[in-house]
């Protein structure tokens, strides 16, 4: 966007370049500013905008000519929590209006919240695809976190579990492993890793997050992830 034009001037310019008439471009600009919570800032120069406001104006500029498909590349990266919430709200509304949104993100929480369909990309290839629920089911519904007695126990149990570990937190002596949360499975797991009943101090069950899915699917920390939201 042009830093030295106001938000409204930028949007009107984009409207004119999309071959709207002068009044049409003006109306569309005002409508978008209002919708993106920029109505008050519309007459200020873009150079005075915060990061979140710029991001919203950027998205608004892409919507001037009412596209039916829109690609968003990490739209919330670097935004503060409130701006991120506002951006999520806007994207949800877009989807509600019937726009197909392709969105890439590093934040698995974001994909979980916004996407109808998710594709997980690791090292350039799609390693899994489906709805959030389907993906979580592929790994397991839940994660069992074991807090170990000491570092020796931590190493021993980590050795037994091998690549089944989906969360490894050495500082807290915690290891996470996928489970269906049935008593039988949890009991079997405990018997397997801690036959002496001394290594595991406490345990907790969590609903699986997409982070768990990613770790389980790729075997290493989050590096890239892609999400697509269809209507």
Residues 21-60 that bind another protein (CB under 8 A): 45
Q: Which of residues 143-202 bind another protein (CB under 8 A)?
A: none
Asked if 16 touches another protein (CB under 8 A), the answer is yes
Number of helices (H), then strands (E), in the chain: 9, 9
Q: One symbol per residue from 56 to 75: x for binding another protein (CB under 8 A), - otherwise; what is it?
A: -----x---x----------
The count of residues interacting with another protein (CB under 8 A) is 14
| 106 within 8 A of 77, measured Cβ to Cβ | yes
First vs last Cα of the chain: how many Å apart? 29
- 9 scored as a contact of another protein (CB under 8 A): yes
The H-assigned helical ranges of the chain are: 7-17, 22-35, 51-62, 81-96, 108-114, 132-139, 151-161, 183-193, 210-218
Distance CA 127, CA 125 (A): 6
Is position 2 an interface residue for another protein (rule: CB under 8 A)?
Answer: yes
Binding another protein (rule: CB under 8 A), the pick from 13, 127, 203, 222 is 13
Residue ranges in contact with another protein by CB under 8 A? 1-2, 4-5, 9, 13-14, 16-19, 45, 61, 65
């Amino acid at each position: 966007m042009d830093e030295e034009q106001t938000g409204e001037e930028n949007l009107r310019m984009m409207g004119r370049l999309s071959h709207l008439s002068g009044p049409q471009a003006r109306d569309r600009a005002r409508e978008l500013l209002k919708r993106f919570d920029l109505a008050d800032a519309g007459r200020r120069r873009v150079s005075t905008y915060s990061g979140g406001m710029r991001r919203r104006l950027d998205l608004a500029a892409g919507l001037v000519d009412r596209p039916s498909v829109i690609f968003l590349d990490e739209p919330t990266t670097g935004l503060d929590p409130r701006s991120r919430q506002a951006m999520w709200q806007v994207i949800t509304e877009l989807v509600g209006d019937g726009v197909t949104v392709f969105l890439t993100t590093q934040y698995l929480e974001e994909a979980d919240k916004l996407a109808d369909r998710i594709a997980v990309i690791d090292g350039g290839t799609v390693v899994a695809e489906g709805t959030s629920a389907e993906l979580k089911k592929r790994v397991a519904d839940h994660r069992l976190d074991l807090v170990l007695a000491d570092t020796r126990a931590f190493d021993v149990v980590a050795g037994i579990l091998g690549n089944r570990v989906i969360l490894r937190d050495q500082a807290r002596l915690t290891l996470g492993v996928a489970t269906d949360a049935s008593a039988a499975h949890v009991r079997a797991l405990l018997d397997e890793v801690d036959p002496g009943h001394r290594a595991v101090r406490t345990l907790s069950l969590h609903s699986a997050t997409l982070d768990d899915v990613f770790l389980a699917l790729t075997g290493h920390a989050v590096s890239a992830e892609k999400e697509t939201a269809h209507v």
